[in-house]
Amino acid sequence: MLEIRGLRKAFGSVVAVDDVSFTIAPGQILAVLGPNGAGKTTTVSMISGLFPPDAGEIRIDGQVSRSDTDPIKRRIGLVPQDLALYDELTAQDNLNFFGALHNLTGSALDHAMAAALTLVGLGDRMRDRVKTFSGGMKRRLNLAAGLLHDPDILLLDEPTVGVDPQSRNAIFDNLEQLKDRGKALLYTTHYMEEAERLADRLVVIDRGTVVANDTLEGLYARVPKPAGGGRVTLESVFLSLTGKSLRD
């Protein structure tokens, strides 16, 4: 469904992403892992059309987006890392606006809004202003805004940052439901346990390049089992691939 080939992006002399390639199939969750500044958000930004790559291509079912208004962009839903919501507006007003950006109006918009809010468990708070929401509720609404136009591909950039375990668990349930509906999900995160729970396949990026693209089991097999019969963790695999030096 989503095919990324040889993506490259530089900001001045800094190469943020270099020769990144991967694919995501319908009903699959791909976790993109990487230290801070590895190029995860830049990759997501290019896929969602925020800026063009310097090289490489992004194909959705073989088609390339040609312009800002290319209808193919409707097949992608973005859930940014920031809480991209208007605090002063109600949840309903926020979704009205984001839905209209995808040309949703009238009953179609109402149905989409109801479905998205129900999925994230905010149906009873739709008329409340977002500024009255907890961090977890805002995260869930952030997810609902990305789902509103029923995209085939959902790009989730660290969607659980700063939320409590209950909200995080609720978001996981939502994502698993979306996967079951055949959506393709690209999920960037720093949390290894999230990737272990959700991902069908994992891409590890470091310093702008892909250092691993494998299943969870494939990654586990890359490092020797610890002495004493302990279990290999994704974190140990991640650290062995990216090193232990600080990246901030």
State yes or no: residue 235 binds another protein (CB under 8 A): no
How many other C-beta atoms are found inside a 10 Å radius of the C-beta of residue 32? 29
Determine what percent of the chain falls in helix, strand and coil, rounding each to the nearest 5: 40, 25, 35
State yes or no: residue 213 binds another protein (CB under 8 A): no
**Least Å distance between CB 151 and another protein?**
10
* Secondary structure of residue 24 in the 3-state scheme: strand
CA separation, residue 10 to residues 48, 175, 241 (Å): 17, 32, 23
Q: Nearest Cα to 158, choosing from 53, 31, 8?
A: 31
Rounded to 5 degrees, φ, ψ at 16 are -85, -40
Per this entry, what is the length of the chain? 248
State yes or no: residue 145 binds another protein (CB under 8 A): yes
* Binding span for another protein by CB under 8 A among 22-30, 90-98, 164-172, 184-192: 90-98
The residue within the footprint of another protein, chosen from 11, 36, 61, 215 (CB under 8 A), is 11
The residue within the footprint of another protein, chosen from 89, 115, 223, 239 (CB under 8 A), is 89
**Least Å distance between CB 223 and another protein?**
33
- Residue (11 or 177) nearer to another protein, CB: 11
Rounded to 5 degrees, φ, ψ at 141 are -65, -35
- Residue (51 or 114) nearer to another protein, CB: 51
Residues that bind another protein (CB under 8 A): 11, 42, 45, 48-51, 67-74, 76, 78, 80-86, 88-89, 93, 96-98, 100-105, 145-146
